[in-house]
Structure formats: structure tokens, C-alpha cells
Chains A and B, each alone.
Chain A
Amino acid sequence: MSRGLTIIFFSIVAVQMVGLVAFVAVKQYAVATGTEVILQGAPVDPRSLMQGDYAILDYEIAGIPKDVKTEFAVGDDVIVVLTNKGEAWEAIRYLDDDRVPKGNGEVFVRGQLQSNGRIDFGIGTYFVPEGTGWRIERAHDLKIRVSVSDDGDATVTGVIVDGEDFSP
């Protein structure tokens, strides 16, 4: 292999590794600097070939209450403003993307309205060690720890099963 191609080869390897580290850094920054909220959820328990067992998480705040007058279309970004109600955070307002309540200290999470009428926040998956998903599936009460960034992007950081942090 010529010197030029050798340099290109190792540059590609370096770009791959930098990409992986950047992926970690972006996600870790979002988790570290975000506001932790606890949301009420409900699980299902399937398996991914590449990433193993996981629980599908659904959220109470993903359903827009009927008394909330909205004009959201499928695919629209929806801003859900949250407030701490003790055990779990709850939705107090559902807003358009162009009415983001930035700067006033309110915590909000961003999602997209699906055709089934529920909002997808991109936090519908929680990976678990092999064979332990049944504990989440059988939970009577499931709460999810979520780190929410200033922009409303959310990352699942843990789950609380029947009042205790899930630790397989």
C-alpha cells in the first residue's frame, strides 16, 4: 500500500473512532447537563438481534388529553411542558414547535405526533440484560428516569420498577 493510501486508511479509522467518541460525548453531555424528570410509563418486552432484550416504553404524557384544544397534524413536532407533581412529572401544556418556552426555566420535552394520536419522544426503548425484561413487563408501577436537555431532547437514564430502581 502506498504512503498516501496508508494515510487515508488510518485517517478513515481515526474518523470512525472519533465518530464513536463523539456519539458518546453528545449523549453523555445531554444526560449530564439535562434536567432529570420521572415519567409514568408502561412496558412491553421484545428483542433486537443487534442490541438484545429491551422494553418498549410508553408514557402517560404521550397521549394528548381530549380537553386540550390542538391543531397538530401527524408528523408535527409537539412541545410538552412538564411540571413536578411529586412522584412523577406531568404534562401541563402541549405547544407547537414555534412556541418553545425557552429561558423561563420551564422543563419541556419535544416529540412528534404519530398517526395513532400519541407523541413519540424518541425514548421508547430501554435495553436490559438478557432474560431480565420480564421484571419490567410484570411491574405494577413503572416510572422512567429521563434526562431532558434545554432543547427538549430526552434520554432514558433508568427505570423505577414498583418503587425501586431497576438493577438486574
Chain B
Amino acid sequence: MSEGEGPRTGYSAGSDPQFVARIRREIETWRTEGIISSEVAETLVSRYGESEDAGRPFALNRLSAAIVIFGAILIGLGIIAVLAANWDAISDPAKIGLMVAASTTTYVVGWFLAYRFEAPRTGIALILLGAIVYGASIHLIAQAFNVEVNHPLLMPAWFLGVVPIAYVTRAVAILVLSLILLLVSLGFRMQVWFGEEFANAVDGAVFMVVVAAYVLFGATLFALGRLHARWNPFQHFARYFDVIGIGTAAVGTYALSFASAWRTIDRVEVRDFMPEFWITFAVTLVIAVVALAMAYQRRETRAADSVRWLWIASGTFMMCGIAIATWIALIADTSWFWIPVNVIIMIGIIAMLTAGFRFNRPYLVNTAFILFGVTVMTRYFEFGFDLLDQGLAFIVTGVLFLGIGFGLERLRRGMIRDMRERTFSL
């Protein structure tokens, strides 16, 4: 695929194709000369990206992209619901035939719209719909032959079918579907690794093992995101890997921070883990390290970039460390492990705050404040709420919320104002 040919759902601000080609060459030159960072280059490229519909207002551009994607998702969910109803007016063979035909047709029509009829957004939305219908077809066939419900191979088969489509089309919507399917597939494979224990996993040691696994997976997605940021045709994928990866690891770490859970769980035996578990996560860890190493090789030579790399590597290894330390703590029957988890969360929040300030990333600062608020309030309710009379507790909590909220708001505004001033003064 030559540069600029693929459909994109991002912002197109170029005035004509020649201008876009020229500005992209310029941006690449600035990046290689160290005038701008890769991330700034990525932002500029997406801003002046492919311009087949140049001149359209920005808002309308984004709105049309969002609406067609929503349309595809709604149709896909509708099809899944209709199939789940198992309507017996149509025979199973007819339903399967219809679904295979529908999936093929939406793919083909989507491709023609995207690459031949200059309707890339609608085309990609239809290809996304084809991918959803493909997954629905897998589940329909399983339904028709009464394959065990939630069979551990159905979701992985869906993921493996869809992920190459994301890379061939370079479409963000299909990538996001792929990443969601990957995380869900992991959950379905857990059934195999933990058997019946998995069904009763909530509040148990198996739950902690599973959550730690997701933290590691989140770290790996983040590392892959950093690799994508240095991989020219797929730079626009990087932020989605980052968001989903960090989000997964953050939610997982939060789940590991509850003292009550650590105090009640049983010790885990190493033999409780199936070999596939160890193999999967050894491979996952290797992928994270290799992705980081490859991305590091493609780094820029500027000093600022080296500092950023130190942060990225520290963040990734901290997430991996949480997962590995959790497994060790479960095997060693360490009921106090919630304390280091909470310390790590606080270190992570401070690191996020500092990185946001240092690299002018307001979203990192905002996210750090949200995480801080959630963590503090969670611990407050976990340890303090039972000790107070209920009415008094609500009043105290309300005052606490107001006070902390007011303080955080002032601090946050101040930091973001400083950042903007620094940006304008550059």
C-alpha cells in the first residue's frame, strides 16, 4: 500500500493531494532531523493525512466517520441478537448460508466503496460490519451444532480472522475490534487453564491470577503501541494500543489493590497453573521486551527522546512487574501484598503526573488526577466507612469530597496553565 492510499478516519485538513504529499515529506524530514518528535510528527501526519475529501469541515468529517461506524456496530449487534434468538422459521443451513453470503458481500461492497468509489468511511464501516458478521457466523455454526456454550476456541477464531483485516485496511475501528477480541479471547482461554475454578473465580485466588494476567497483557499492548509509533504505516494505531493497554493494566492493578481480597484468598499451588498458562505469559513477556527493544532501536537520537524512553521502559516493566509479583505473592501466600500494590499505584500516578507535565501531555495529568481520586476514595470506603455512624459518614465523606475536589481542581488547572504557557513560549 503506498502512502496516502488507504482510507483513514482521522482528521483531513489538506487542501489537495499534492499539498498533502509535500507536507508529509516535510514532516518526515523534520522528524529525521530532530526538529520535531515522532509524536508531534504523528499528530501532524494525522492532521494533514489523506485528503480525498479535503476542504470538508473538520466536525462534519469526524461526525460522518463516527456515524457510519456506529451504524455498522448497531447492525452487527442487531444481527447477533437476531441469531441469538434462534428463530426457527429459517432452518440452520439457510441461516448459515445467509450469514456466509452476508459477510462476503459486506466485505466486497465495503472494499469497493473504500478503494474504488471514494467513500472510505462508509467502506471501512462495511468492512467492520463484515468482520462482526464473520464472528456472528462462527457463533451461529456453533449454535447449530450445539457446540459447548462459550467454547474457548470461538473467540480466538474470531480474533485471528479479523486482526489481519485491520492491518491490511489500516482501519482504526477494525483494530479496536481486534484488540477487544484479543482480550476477550484471553478470558475464554482461561476457562481451559483453570477449568471449573474459573467459573467460581470471583473473590478467589484464581481471580487474582487472571487479573494479573490481564495486567501483563496490558503492558504488552502498551509496548506494542510504542513499536507501532515507530512503524511508519501504522503510526496511527499506536495511541489505541496505548489506551487499551494502559487501561487494561490500570483496571487490573486497581482490582489487585483491595486488602479485603488479599486477606481472604487461599494460597495458590504452582501445579494449579496449566503449562499453557506459563507458556502464554512467557511468550507475552518476551513480546513486550522485543517490541520495546525494536521500538528503542528506531528511536530518535535526541536527548529528550532518550529520557522519554526511560519513562516508557520503566512504565512497561513496572506493569509487567506487578503481574509477576502478584503470581509470586499468591504462591507464597502473602496476604499483605495489597500494600505494595497500593504503593505502586501511587508511584504510577505520580509518574504519570510528572510525565504529563514534563512532556506537555495534559491528558496524562487529567488521567492521573482521576486515578488518584478513585484510589483514595476506594481506600477510604474500604477502611473507614464501617467505623463511622452512617449519617456522620455521609457528611464527612461529602466534606472530604468537596475539599479534595476543590484542591485537586486548583492544582490541575494550575499545572495545565503552566504547560500551555510553556508550549506558547517555545
Partners in one complex: yes
A27 with B141: CB separation less than 8 A: yes
Interface segment, one of A13-21, A60-68, A100-108: A13-21
- Residue B321 interfacial (CB < 8 Å): no
State A13–B165 Cα separation when bound (angstroms).
8
- Residue B164 interfacial (CB < 8 Å): yes
The 8 Å CB contact of B2, one of A2, A24, A50, A51, is A2
Interface segment, one of B41-49, B99-107, B298-306: B99-107
B84 with A48: CB separation less than 8 A: yes
> Contacts of A1 on B, CB cut-off 8 Å?
1, 5-6, 111, 114-115, 168-169
Q: A9-B165, A20-B137, A24-B96 are in contact. Are A127 and B5 (CB under 8 A)?
A: no
Counting chain A CB atoms within 10 Å of each CB, the highest count among B6, B88, B149 belongs to: B149
Report how many residues on chain B are interfacial, defined by Cβ distance under 8 Å: 47
- Residue A149 interfacial (CB < 8 Å): no
Report how many residues on chain A are interfacial, defined by Cβ distance under 8 Å: 45
Q: A27-B141, A126-B146 are in contact. Are A168 and B103 (CB under 8 A)?
A: no
Interface bits A142-168 vs B (CB < 8 Å: 1, else 0):
000000000000011100000000001
- Residue B68 interfacial (CB < 8 Å): no
Grouping DSSP codes into helix (H, G, I), strand (E, B) and loop, the A interface class, with mixed when no group exceeds half, is: mixed
- Residue B134 interfacial (CB < 8 Å): yes
A51 with B83: CB separation less than 8 A: yes
> Contacts of B136 on A, CB cut-off 8 Å?
50
- Residue B150 interfacial (CB < 8 Å): yes
Counting chain B CB atoms within 10 Å of each CB, the highest count among A5, A6, A31 belongs to: A5
B147 with A125: CB separation less than 8 A: yes
- Residue A130 interfacial (CB < 8 Å): yes
A123 with B146: CB separation less than 8 A: yes
State A5–B216 Cα separation when bound (angstroms).
33
Q: Looking across the interface, which residue of chain A has its beta carbon closest to that of B136? A: A50
The 8 Å CB contact of B103, one of A17, A24, A155, is A17
Q: Looking across the interface, which residue of chain B has its beta carbon closest to that of A16? A: B161
State A16–B164 Cα separation when bound (angstroms).
11
Q: Looking across the interface, which residue of chain A has its beta carbon closest to that of B114? A: A1
> Contacts of B325 on A, CB cut-off 8 Å?
none
State A129–B169 Cα separation when bound (angstroms).
37
B168 with A129: CB separation less than 8 A: no
> Contacts of B388 on A, CB cut-off 8 Å?
none
B141 with A24: CB separation less than 8 A: yes
B141 with A17: CB separation less than 8 A: no
10 interchain pairs (CB within 8 A)? A5-B1, A12-B168, A23-B141, A48-B84, A50-B84, A52-B84, A125-B147, A127-B146, A130-B84, A130-B86
The 9 closest A-B pairs by CB, nearest first: A52-B84, A156-B146, A27-B145, A130-B85, A51-B143, A129-B86, A125-B149, A1-B115, A127-B143
Knowing that A20-B138, A50-B136 touch, tell me 14 more A-B residue pairs with CB under 8 angstroms: A2-B5, A8-B164, A13-B104, A13-B108, A17-B103, A20-B100, A21-B100, A27-B141, A51-B139, A122-B147, A124-B148, A127-B86, A127-B143, A127-B149
